[in-house]
Homo-oligomer: A and B are copies of this chain.
């Protein structure tokens, strides 16, 4: 199963990706988590030791040059649009608590040109991870999902858009929905996060009338406090974990759900 998680910055994509990764692993699945949001830190959220020591793929200059044939930062050169990437997941993923993780890193937008070799590498790698892998793949990504591309998007079983009570996050959900249609990705669902009241929940439902809601995660100050105290946020709120367990159940294929209730 391939699950991509998107949404406006700050809505809680990374926490949902981390909790789903843990719950799938606990349920016996093999999980590959992918941090594809340069503004997030899935490793730290998952409690990986020394997350700052994980080198993102985009910063492996020698590797990118070897595979694309072009040095990072070179402008106007021709490079391989489909570099070899199939060996990278085993070589460059890190593992902790049963979860395999790959950190994609930031593609520099550049002062004077386009750094396309990194881009070609990351996109090909992302396509490989989503299309060719046989495990549960959980992709934490930014709101700009268009770099998934048509072929890759078809491999995504569910695109979860996280929203919070706020108009900007709703607007981003609609923008993501449009981009998703453009690349042929139609299995979209929404998760509401950081809810403080029934009226905030109703706001989300009425703002997104044509969307399927997978769940509603309450706001819990315990998450913020755990983060500030530098203890793992994934273990800090039982009510949040319980709700993400429900979301996990809703994600399982119908036949698995039927077997569980036998």
Interface of A with B (CB < 8 Å)? 8-11, 14, 38-41, 44, 76, 78, 81, 106-114, 116, 119-120, 123, 142-144, 146-150, 152, 165-168, 171-172, 183, 196, 199-200, 203, 221, 224, 227-228, 230
Contact = CB atoms under 8 A, between A and B. Distances in A.
B183 A111 contact: yes
Main SS class of interface, A = loop
30 contacts: A8-B9, A8-B10, A9-B9, A9-B39, A10-B11, A39-B142, A39-B143, A40-B168, A41-B168, A41-B171, A44-B167, A44-B168, A81-B113, A107-B109, A109-B144, A109-B146, A109-B147, A110-B119, A110-B146, A111-B148, A111-B183, A114-B116, A116-B116, A166-B227, A166-B228, A167-B227, A167-B228, A168-B227, A199-B228, A200-B228
A198 to B, nearest CB: 13
A57 B113 CA distance: 18
Nearest to A110: B147
A56 to B, nearest CB: 12
Indicate the member of A9, A11, A144, A203 with the most B CB atoms within 10 Å.
A9
A78 B75 CA distance: 10
Contacts of A107: 109
Nearest to A226: B167
A108 B143 CA distance: 12
A120 B167 CA distance: 31
Contacts of A116: 113-114, 116
Contacts of A172: 39
Contact of A111 (B109, B147, B171): B147
B230 A146 contact: no
Given A39-B143, A110-B147, 15 more contacts: A8-B9, A10-B10, A14-B168, A40-B168, A41-B168, A44-B168, A108-B144, A108-B146, A109-B146, A112-B149, A114-B116, A166-B227, A166-B228, A168-B227, A200-B228
Contact of A149 (B9, B111, B196): B111
Contacts of A106: 144
Contact of A166 (B144, B196, B224): B224
